[in-house]
Each structure stands twice: as structure tokens, then as C-alpha cells.
């Protein structure tokens, strides 16, 4: 009887500790891959053929809205779902206004239509 209790106690402590360690390892690997991922940097060739920074649109508000949309669109499908929007309290609070056609997603065009409200 005593052996069974000890086994359950050890398993009850070991399994959560193992899960915690696995989660920490996963979070560390995810952070490293995000920090090292340079494939998302956009460059355009200059007249000399060397890479140059992508041209600016000229409007910091437009860049801010575009950057926010890109940051929230985690699956990169060109639309924001309600769960993706939940990462930004301001966007989440404006969800009904942003989703103009009530299809459950917000397109880049719908997002851009309200970029002044998102400042």
C-alpha cells in the first residue's frame, strides 16, 4: 500500500515538472527562431544592384497601421481573425467596427479604412 502512494506522489510531481521543462525549452527555441528569422526583411535592389531598404510610403500612420496588421496576422493569410485581433486590446475593442461586412474576419482594406481610429 505504501509503495503505491510513493509511486503516485513521485509521478504527481515528476509529470508537471517535465511538462514545465518542455514548455520552457519550446519557448526558448521559438524565441531564438523568431530572433534569427531574417526572411521577413524586405529589400529591393538599387540601381547599383546592391540591396537597399524598401521604399517608405511617406506616411507614418499608414506604416503604423500596416505594421500592426502584419504583426497581428500571425498565420499570414491576409485576414485577421478574432483570436488574432485579441493580441491587441485596441483592435479587439474595435472589432465590430473593423469587421464592416460581418464575415468574422478583417481584411487589410477594412483595417486600413479605420487606421486613423487605431492611432
90-107 pLDDT, tens per residue? Answer: 989 999 999 999 999 999
The answer to whether the CB of 63 falls within 8 A of the CB of 56 is yes
- Which position has the higher pLDDT, 14 or 117? 117
Instruction: Convert the pLDDT of each residue in 43-62 to its tens digit.
Output: 444 444 444 444 444 445 55
How, if at all, do strands 79-81 and 105-107 pair?
antiparallel
Percent of the chain residues topping a pLDDT of 90: 29
Q: What percent of the chain has pLDDT over 70?
A: 54
pLDDT for 65: 79
How buried is 66 (Cβ within 10 angstroms: 0-12 exposed, 13-18 middle, 19+ buried)?
middle
Q: Does the pLDDT at position 41 exceed 70?
A: no
DSSP structural state of residue 82: H
What confidence score (pLDDT) does residue 48 get? 47
Residue 56 to residue 61: CA distance in whole angstroms: 12
Given phi > 0 = left and psi -120 to 50 = alpha, else beta, which region is 98? Answer: alpha
pTM score, whole prediction:
0.47
Amino acid at each position: 500500500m505504501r509503495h503505491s502512494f510513493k509511486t503516485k506522489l513521485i509521478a504527481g510531481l515528476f509529470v508537471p515538472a517535465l511538462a514545465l521543462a518542455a514548455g520552457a525549452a519550446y519557448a526558448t527555441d521559438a524565441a531564438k527562431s523568431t530572433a534569427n528569422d531574417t526572411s521577413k526583411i524586405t529589400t529591393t535592389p538599387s540601381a547599383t544592384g546592391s540591396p537597399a531598404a524598401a521604399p517608405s510610403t511617406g506616411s507614418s500612420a499608414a506604416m503604423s497601421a500596416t505594421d500592426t496588421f502584419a504583426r497581428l496576422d500571425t498565420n499570414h493569410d491576409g485576414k485577421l481573425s478574432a483570436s488574432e485581433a485579441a493580441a491587441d486590446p485596441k483592435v479587439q475593442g474595435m472589432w465590430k467596427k473593423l469587421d464592416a461586412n460581418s464575415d468574422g474576419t478583417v481584411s487589410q482594406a477594412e483595417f486600413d479604412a479605420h487606421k486613423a481610429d487605431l492611432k
